[in-house]
């Protein structure tokens, strides 16, 4: 009797094991329930750089032929077909303009980029839907369309004007990255010499006004001190629209543990980037060595660019670039989970704003492979659903809820220059 009972238990265990989902099945189930809400895609600047925003003949169904004949010299990472294959259900389209522009030109260029993003969405009404709220995101998903949100990449886009910020919100912008590669007059960038020791008083008021509006403050690109200053002021969740964990890769663009530890109190989300130089530490070190070698050769062979190019190619052949992998991206997610928790992780690929994604995730089709890797590491379907969409949607909804709670608060006024 005892042996028969044990045999029966063993048979049940074997049957249960046979029925257990594979990592790929767990990932597929999660992405079916909650498609990826991606925090950052640079298609709009591709439209500007390649087609000068003339999109009447642009085919967003298939961009696989957009190769070297265009100014960027590579094939685009994104189109409607590949977004579907990659299980992307909501997308923040980045309206980046160069941080080198003077502020008035940056404001104009940003409006032009918001305009071309609206026009792109309008051209594909069966596939894309403009989303201004969390409810809009859910409505688009229910209709089988890709919820399309707009995020401004860089505070230079508002010309240091809260009035311009409000008008950008009025025409659809739902986050703003406070800086890009350079400081603004009111906030320090991660990749520029510190100038303000974080946020100025105006910068603090700007965060307050973003919170009042319901616009997400995006802390990708800002310095560590600026991150902390924003968290000291913010009444709504922040996001990092495309960043990694600095403990895994030391790039200044990544989020340090000192900030990750504060996210549970704020409710913010790090939307993990796919850019190889931010993922793999050996890749980051290689880029630094490559730049150092280029500078050395330019000093040795001044005025002789052909020699510099040839010798740099020789160096590259002898020192091949290490390739970032899906596993590297998963390592960042593991670390953020360990420090901040599962509720503070999202996805922000940065596709079409970089040369390529990691091996196996070279374009937007790669997200199912990432989620399968996470499932192999023990992430449950519930965990994966939080990472893919639920955390980002919760942060957006919380920002809206805070704005609704202070709807009687007047706009913050600042004097225009004399």
> Residue 238: which domain range?
25-277+325-405
Our count of domains for the chain comes to 2
Is residue 227 located within the same domain as residue 268?
yes
- Across 350-369, average pLDDT: 97
- Indicate the helix (H) or strand (E) that contains 160: none
Residue 107: name the closest of 151, 165, 171 by CA: 165
Q: Does 13 score more than 80 pLDDT?
A: no
What is the predicted pLDDT for the residue at 417? 84
Residue 212: name the closest of 235, 232, 241 by CA: 235
What is the predicted pLDDT for the residue at 212? 98
pLDDT digits over 306-316, tens only?
Answer: 999 999 999 99
pLDDT digits over 54-81, tens only?
Answer: 999 999 999 999 986 655 569 999 999 9
Q: Where are the alpha helices (DSSP H) in 88-223?
A: 103-123, 134-142, 162-170, 201-213
Is residue 190 located within the same domain as residue 247?
yes
Q: What is the mean pLDDT of the chain?
A: 94
What is the predicted pLDDT for the residue at 180? 98
pLDDT digits over 255-279, tens only?
Answer: 999 999 999 999 999 999 999 999 9
Q: What is the C-alpha R_g of the chain?
A: 23
Residues known to be catalytic: 40, 42, 153, 180, 221, 242, 350
Is residue 213 located within the same domain as residue 254?
yes
- Across 147-152, average pLDDT: 98
User: Scanning the structure block, which residue is given the tokens 């051209």?
Assistant: 123
CATH number at residue 32: 3.20.20.140
Q: Largest Cα–Cα distance of the chain, in whole Å?
A: 95
Is residue 160 located within the same domain as residue 29?
yes
pLDDT digits over 172-182, tens only?
Answer: 999 999 999 99
Q: Does 16 score more than 50 pLDDT?
A: no
pLDDT digits over 323-350, tens only?
Answer: 999 999 999 999 999 999 999 999 999 9
Question: Band of the pLDDT at 14, cuts 50, 70, 90?
Answer: very low
Residue 215: name the closest of 166, 181, 273, 180 by CA: 166
Looking at the domain assignment, is residue 102 inside a domain? Answer: yes
What is the predicted pLDDT for the residue at 155? 97
pLDDT digits over 90-104, tens only?
Answer: 999 999 999 999 999
Is residue 49 located within the same domain as residue 170?
yes
Mention every residue, 6+ apart, whose C-beta is less than 8 A from residue 76. 43, 46, 63, 64, 66, 352
Is residue 237 located within the same domain as residue 329?
yes
């Amino acid at each position: 009797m005892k042996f028969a009972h044990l045999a029966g238990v063993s048979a049940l265990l074997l049957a249960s094991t046979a029925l257990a989902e594979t990592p790929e099945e767990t990932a597929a189930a999660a992405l079916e329930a909650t498609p990826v809400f991606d925090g950052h895609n640079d298609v709009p600047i591709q439209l500007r750089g390649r087609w000068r925003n003339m999109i009447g003949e642009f085919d967003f169904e298939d961009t696989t032929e957009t190769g070297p004949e265009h100014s960027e010299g590579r094939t685009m990472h994104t189109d409607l077909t590949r977004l579907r294959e990659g299980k992307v259900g909501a997308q923040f389209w980045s309206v980046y303009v160069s941080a080198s522009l003077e502020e008035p030109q940056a404001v104009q260029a940003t409006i032009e980029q918001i305009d071309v993003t609206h026009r792109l969405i309008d051209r594909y009404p069966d596939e894309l839907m403009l989303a201004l709220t969390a409810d809009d995101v859910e409505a688009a998903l229910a209709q089988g369309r890709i919820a399309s949100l707009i995020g401004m990449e860089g505070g230079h886009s508002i010309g240091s004007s809260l009035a311009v910020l409000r008008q950008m919100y009025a025409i659809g912008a739902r986050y703003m990255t406070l800086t890009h590669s350079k400081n603004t007059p009111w906030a320090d960038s991660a990749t520029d010499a510190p100038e303000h020791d974080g946020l100025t008083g105006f910068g603090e008021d700007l965060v307050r006004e973003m919170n009042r509006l319901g616009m997400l403050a995006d802390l990708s690109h800002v310095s560590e001190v600026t991150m902390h200053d924003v968290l000291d002021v913010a009444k709504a969740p922040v996001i990092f629209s495309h960043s990694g964990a600095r403990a895994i890769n030391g790039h200044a663009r990544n989020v340090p543990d000192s900030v990750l530890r504060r996210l549970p109190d704020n409710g913010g989300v790090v939307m993990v980037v796919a850019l190889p130089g931010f993922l793999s530490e050996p890749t980051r070190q290689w880029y630094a060595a490559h730049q150092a070698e280029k500078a050395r050769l330019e000093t040795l062979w001044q005025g002789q660019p052909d020699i510099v190019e040839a010798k740099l190619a020789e160096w590259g052949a002898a020192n091949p670039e290490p390739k970032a992998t899906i596993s590297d991206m998963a390592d960042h997610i593991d670390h953020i989970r360990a420090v901040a928790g599962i509720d503070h992780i999202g996805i922000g690929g940065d596709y079409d704003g970089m040369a390529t994604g990691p091996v196996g995730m070279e374009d937007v089709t790669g997200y199912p492979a990432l989620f399968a890797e996470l499932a192999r590491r023990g992430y449950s379907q519930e965990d994966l659903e939080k990472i893919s969409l639920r955390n980002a949607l919760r942060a957006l909804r919380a920002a809206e809820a805070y704005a609704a709670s202070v709807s009687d608060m007047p706009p913050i006024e600042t004097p225009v220059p004399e």
